[in-house]
Amino acid sequence: MSRIVERIDSLFNPQSIAFIGASKKPGKWGFIIFLHLLMSSYNGKVYPVNPNEKEVLGVPSYPSLDDIPYDVDLAYVTIPQDKVIDIMQECIKKGVKAVILIAAGFGEIAEENKELEKEIASIAERGNLVVMGPNCNGIVSASCGLCALMPAFFPKKGHIAVVSQSGNIGNSILVRGMEHNIGFSRYISSGNESHLCSEDYIEYYGEDDETKVITAYIEGIKDGRKFFEVAKRVTKKKPIILLKGGTTAFGASAAKSHTGSMAGSAEVFASMCRQAGIIGVNNLDEMFDIASSFLCQPLPKGNNVGIVTGGGGWGVVVSDACAREGLNLPDLEPETISALDQILPSWWNKGNPIDTVAGQNRAAFIDAMEILIKSDYIDSAIGLGIGFSAMTGDAYSTSKFRSQFKELDMPGHSASQDLKTAEKIIKLKNEYKKPILLATDAAVMAKSHEHSVFKMYEDEGIIVFPTPDRATRVLAKLTHYKNYLQDS
């Protein structure tokens, strides 16, 4: 481990935490975040510090850091800005290794406060401790069960790491994980980055066995050369997915008052990202779509995509999306066509996308997918229109015709057929080690998330996307990343 990575480890794996500013008053951050820390499954010791209380939320409290008769690895600080320098001095005296500063009111509100931030950094370096923040939202570290954020979010343990210069954007990433039951290894709301910067956390994530994918929200970078040097090294090992805030004049102005960041040229930044193998995204949904897919999908060997669709229009739309994203739709080879002739009606389109012809025989969907995915010239696949039973089940069950027919559903639109499809698609993806991305209207319907078919995909970590272009965009990023790894 490099020096900074070792030092940052005290932030992610502290044996003990002093919570300076822990409070009994609902509404105070010192109450809310401390409560969330206690609600989390943190496996170390916790010491609230508050000169006016004997206990906070049932935990014995100390008048000052110095009064704690045990070692303290991490100090979580929720007291206001004007006391932060004093507290940092106390932390050094106590031998604290890492400090989290929640309070706002630094360089983001006045130019002169940037001096205060510089002082924080220089005290940190003199005292050999690391500082996260200020103006931040908290930390998650799954390895020790630590989760202490402003909102009551308790994401499950997993392999996505987050570093965000915005607490609420960081939370937006967590929300998407919680929605899809996909877990996180680490989460850092890095705030104003007075001391530790995004690239430091990214360097740590690069060496972190718990982390397989890194997501980052960045408004500004203090040391561009260092950032991209770190990123270039890390992207050789694991993907970095980055959303840049402040790429326009309006956005840059908002960023200045948010984290005090000065955004540089958006074009230069985007070009540096490409060179460093960083995957740039346009919004939060896209970020999570891609991050989660890196966890559950094999990387494609090349640009050749095969498509199976339950409807022609979706096939057209996904073909457009593939073209726009730089993916290739090869013509089907003669042996693929003759194999498909065996399972599809004679008038099938004999092209790629393969249209399984409007649901007349939905079992053909899986057979077509298998024929496609086992073909040498196909590197990846997109399947459109699965999970139909999730959409129509209710209509039939409440119909007066229900009692008259045992099999009212359209053939192959039954839940059991959808389950068979899910099982087979997961099997094919794993057996042939090729990514299979899925999109369907069924994913639009909130209730379908509760549906057993979606549960099966979710257990495999697969998000079924609501539109073909979302699935295609993800596949393109997987493909481009694989190309980057091969070329570098």
Return d(Cα 418, Cα 377) in angstroms, integer: 27
Of 91 and 368, which CB lies nearer to a copy of itself in the complex structure? 368
Interface segment toward a copy of itself; rule CB under 8 A; list 89-97, 200-208, 439-447, 455-463: 439-447
- Of 209, 215, 88, the C-alpha closest to 155 is 215
Asked if 145 is part of the footprint of a copy of itself (rule: CB under 8 A), the reply reads no
Interface segment toward a copy of itself; rule CB under 8 A; list 61-69, 371-379, 403-411, 416-424: 403-411
Q: Using DSSP bridges, classify how beta strands 157-164 and 45-49 pair: parallel, antiparallel or unpaired.
A: unpaired
Q: What does the DSSP 8-state code read for residue 106?
A: S
Q: How many residues bind a copy of itself (CB under 8 A)?
A: 102
Asked if 262 is part of the footprint of a copy of itself (rule: CB under 8 A), the reply reads no
Q: Which of residues 333-352 bind a copy of itself (CB under 8 A)?
A: 347, 349-351
| E strand intervals along 353-412 | 354-355, 380-384
Q: Using DSSP bridges, classify how beta strands 74-77 and 98-101 pair: parallel, antiparallel or unpaired.
A: parallel
Q: Which of residues 353-382 bind a copy of itself (CB under 8 A)?
A: 353, 355, 357-359
Q: How far is the CB of 133 from a copy of itself (least distance, A)?
A: 13
Q: Which of 258, 429, 434, 480 binds a copy of itself (CB under 8 A)?
A: 258
**CB within 8 A of 106, min separation 6: which ones?**
81, 113, 114, 116, 117, 134, 135, 192, 194, 260
Q: Which of 47, 314, 365, 457 binds a copy of itself (CB under 8 A)?
A: 314
Token digits of residue 461? 């970590």
Asked if 53 is part of the footprint of a copy of itself (rule: CB under 8 A), the reply reads no
Of 124 and 160, which CB lies nearer to a copy of itself in the complex structure? 160
**What angle do the packed helices 167-180 and 284-296 form, to 10 degrees?**
50
Return d(Cα 243, Cα 412) in angstroms, integer: 41
Asked if 452 is part of the footprint of a copy of itself (rule: CB under 8 A), the reply reads no
Q: How far is the CB of 405 from a copy of itself (least distance, A)?
A: 6
Q: Which of residues 283-302 bind a copy of itself (CB under 8 A)?
A: 283-285
Interface segment toward a copy of itself; rule CB under 8 A; list 11-19, 147-155, 422-430, 455-463: 147-155
Of 1 and 444, which CB lies nearer to a copy of itself in the complex structure? 444
**Helices marked H in 181-279 — which ranges?**
198-207, 224-235, 249-259, 266-275
Q: Which of 249, 274, 341, 416 binds a copy of itself (CB under 8 A)?
A: 249
Return d(Cα 403, Cα 470) in angstroms, integer: 40
Asked if 119 is part of the footprint of a copy of itself (rule: CB under 8 A), the reply reads no
Q: How many residues does the chain have?
A: 488
Q: Using DSSP bridges, classify how beta strands 138-141 and 130-132 pair: parallel, antiparallel or unpaired.
A: unpaired
Binding mask 10-49 for a copy of itself (x = CB under 8 A): ----------------xx----x--x--xx----------
